Amino acid sequence: MTGDELPRLGAWVKLPAPESVELLALAGFDFAVIDAEHGAIDIRTMATMIAMARGCGIAPFVRVPGTAPRDVQVPLDAGAAGLFVPRIDSVAQAHEAVRAVRFPPLGERGASTSGRAGQWGRTPLSDYLRSGNNDVRLVVQAESVTALSAIGEIGAVAGIDAVFIGPMDLAVSGQFQEGSPEMAALITAAEQSCADHCIPLGTVASGHAAELLQRRGYDFLVLGADTTILRQGAHALVNSARAATLGARR
């Protein structure tokens, strides 16, 4: 990594509402990952979310559906702080992601200073190119047995800043049972490989964030999604109110 450290705590944004980003910023999150892979978020809304995040002081990342020029060019020119690229299973695919995201000589990304990333034409071309290669974060997702087995080599590819372990897709693709020792051993080995190669590592966390950060050496975590936070908060409120109502009737 050539710039500042990756922000520490983040959340997925799946609702097509810029206010989700604002609420995450007010809650104290360091970054938001606008989910263009699984969320029903159009390009215009995504660009608005990026602007909202920057205005609120939270780093805007975008999880893209792939590495086609249209997938990566639009969020980067809209000012995304970085991209999460899913389903990177090999060193060859890691190089493909770098080619799509980085400017020459590292990659083949097209250049235009006319968007938010170029301050609408105000940024000199040299600064725009430097920022795209040095400041924009490229996080590749390891979500299969093949990917975790090669995670050290994938994360060492020039132009990649961090690797993100996706446990749900790992369980599905590897046909692991929930909480299986085989899957746990595979993840532990991948964690050690990243530590040995000094590769920044992230994953999702529900209630064990402290363990992941302190004992298992993760550098950044996605703590959940705006949809999950809303559902859990609403559920807790309803349960509390119903319990109080039942108690009052006795």
Catalogue the active-site residues: 38
| Separation of first and last alpha carbons in the chain | 62
**Is residue 192 a contact partner of residue 166, using CB atoms and an 8 Å limit?**
no
Residues whose CB falls within 8 Å of the CB of residue 175, separated by 6 or more in sequence, listed in order: none
Rounded Cα distance, 181 and 168, in Å: 15
Q: How many CB atoms lie within 10 A of CB 181?
A: 9
Residue type, 49: M
**CA 117 distance to own-chain centroid:** 19
The Cα 10–Cα 116 span in angstroms is 22
The residues, ordered by sequence, that sit 6+ positions from 36 with a Cβ below 8 Å of its Cβ are 46, 62, 63, 64, 65, 71, 75
Classify residue 166 as exposed, middle or buried by CB count within 10 Å of its CB (0-12, 13-18, 19+): buried
